[in-house]
Structure 1
Amino acid sequence: MPRLIRLGPNLYGAAFTLMKLLPAMYILQRAEDQGKLGPETTIVETTSGTFGLALAMQTALMKRDLILVSDPTIDTNLYRRLTDLGARIEICPEPAAVGGFQEARLRRLAEIRAEVPGSFCPEQYSNPDNPRSYAAIAEQLARELGTVDCLVGPVGSGGSMCGTVSGLRERTPHTLAIGVDSHHSVLFGQTDGLRALRGIGNSLWPANLDHSVFDEIHWCSAADAFACTRELHARHALFQGPTSGAAYLVARWWAERHPEQQCVVMLPDEGYRYQATVYDDAWLAENGQLLAEADRRIDPITVNAPGEADNRWTRLAWGRRSYEEVPGVVPRFAGAHAGQAAS
Structure 2
Amino acid sequence: MSTRALMRKLEDFEGPRLVPLRENLFGASFFLMKLLPARFMLERAAEQGQLKPGTTICESSSGTFGLALAMLAVQQGYRLILVSDWALDRHLHRRLIELGAEVTIVDSPASCGGLQQARLDRLQMYLKDVAGSYWPSQYGNTDNPLSYAKVAEQFLDRIGRLDCLVGPVGSGGSMSGTARYLRTLFPDLHAIGVDTPGSVLFGQPSGKLNLSGLGGNILPGNVDHSQFDEVHWLPPVEVFHATHELHRTHGLFMGPTSGAAYRVAEWWSRNNPGKTVATMFPDEGHRYVETVYDQEWLEAIAGWASPLPEGPVTVSSPKEPMLGWSRFLWKRRSLNEVLAVTAM
Report the AA paired with residue 329 of structure 2.
A
Aligned 8 A contact 2:26 2:277 in 1 = yes
Report the AA paired with residue 323 of structure 1.
L
TM-score normalised by structure 1 residue count: 0.94
Q: 1 CA distance for matches of 2:36 and 2:323?
A: 32
Instruction: Say whether residues 1:300 and 2:312 are aligned partners.
Output: yes
Percent identity reads 52
Aligned 8 A contact 1:222 1:289 in 2 = no
1:320 aligns with: 332
Q: 2 CA distance for matches of 1:190 and 1:95?
A: 19
TM-superposed CA distance for 1:37, in Å, is 1.1
Instruction: Say whether residues 1:42 and 2:56 are aligned partners.
Output: yes
- Sort the Cα spacing of 1:30 and 1:196 in 2 relative to 1 into closer, same or farther, 3 A: same
Q: 2 CA distance for matches of 1:255 and 1:85?
A: 41
1:173 aligns with: 187
Q: 2 CA distance for matches of 1:33 and 1:329?
A: 44
For the residue of structure 2 that corresponds to 1:143, the secondary structure is helix
Aligned 8 A contact 2:166 2:261 in 1 = yes
**Per-residue CA distance 1:177-204 (angstroms, 9 max, x = gap):** 0000010000000100112222110111
Report the AA paired with residue 126 of structure 2.
I
TM-superposed CA distance for 1:52, in Å, is 0.5
TM-score normalised by structure 2 residue count: 0.93
Report the AA paired with residue 82 of structure 2.
L
1:336 aligns with: none
Q: 2 CA distance for matches of 1:239 and 1:329?
A: 41
Report the AA paired with residue 225 of structure 1.
V
TM-superposed CA distance for 1:104, in Å, is 1.1
For the residue of structure 1 that corresponds to 2:319, the secondary structure is helix
For the residue of structure 2 that corresponds to 1:248, the secondary structure is helix
Q: 2 CA distance for matches of 1:190 and 1:291?
A: 26
Q: 2 CA distance for matches of 1:8 and 1:263?
A: 10
2:262 aligns with: 248
- List alignment gaps of at least 5 residues for structure 2: 1-14
Aligned 8 A contact 1:190 1:330 in 2 = no
Q: What are the residue-to-residue correspondences of 1:253-264 with 2, within 5 Å?
A: 253-264=267-278
For the residue of structure 1 that corresponds to 2:218, the secondary structure is coil
- The answer to which of 64-73 and 237-246 deviates more is 64-73
Q: What is the count of residue pairs matched by the alignment?
A: 329
TM-superposed CA distance for 1:102, in Å, is 1.2
Report the AA paired with residue 24 of structure 1.
A
Aligned 8 A contact 2:54 2:77 in 1 = no
For the residue of structure 2 that corresponds to 1:326, the secondary structure is helix
Runs of 4+ in structure 1 over 3 Å off: 327-331
Aligned 8 A contact 1:45 1:123 in 2 = yes
TM-superposed CA distance for 1:75, in Å, is 1.5
**Per-residue CA distance 1:38-88 (angstroms, 9 max, x = gap):** 112100000111111111111111121000001122121110111111000
Q: 2 CA distance for matches of 1:271 and 1:302?
A: 30
**Per-residue CA distance 1:80-119 (angstroms, 9 max, x = gap):** 1111110000111211111111111111111101110110
Q: 1 CA distance for matches of 2:26 and 2:83?
A: 36
TM-superposed CA distance for 1:311, in Å, is 2.5
Q: 1 CA distance for matches of 2:324 and 2:243?
A: 17
Bigger RCO of structures 1 and 2 (CA < 8 A, at least 6 apart): 1
Aligned 8 A contact 2:235 2:324 in 1 = yes
1:103 aligns with: 117
- Sort the Cα spacing of 1:330 and 1:47 in 2 relative to 1 into closer, same or farther, 3 A: farther
- Sort the Cα spacing of 1:174 and 1:222 in 2 relative to 1 into closer, same or farther, 3 A: same
Report the AA paired with residue 33 of structure 1.
E
1:183 aligns with: 197
TM-superposed CA distance for 1:329, in Å, is 8.6
For the residue of structure 1 that corresponds to 2:19, the secondary structure is strand
1:283 aligns with: 297
1:217 aligns with: 231
Q: 2 CA distance for matches of 1:258 and 1:70?
A: 41
Q: 2 CA distance for matches of 1:289 and 1:57?
A: 38
2:207 aligns with: 193
For the residue of structure 2 that corresponds to 1:307, the secondary structure is coil
Q: What are the residue-to-residue correspondences of 1:37-116 with 2, within 5 Å?
A: 37-116=51-130
1:208 aligns with: 222
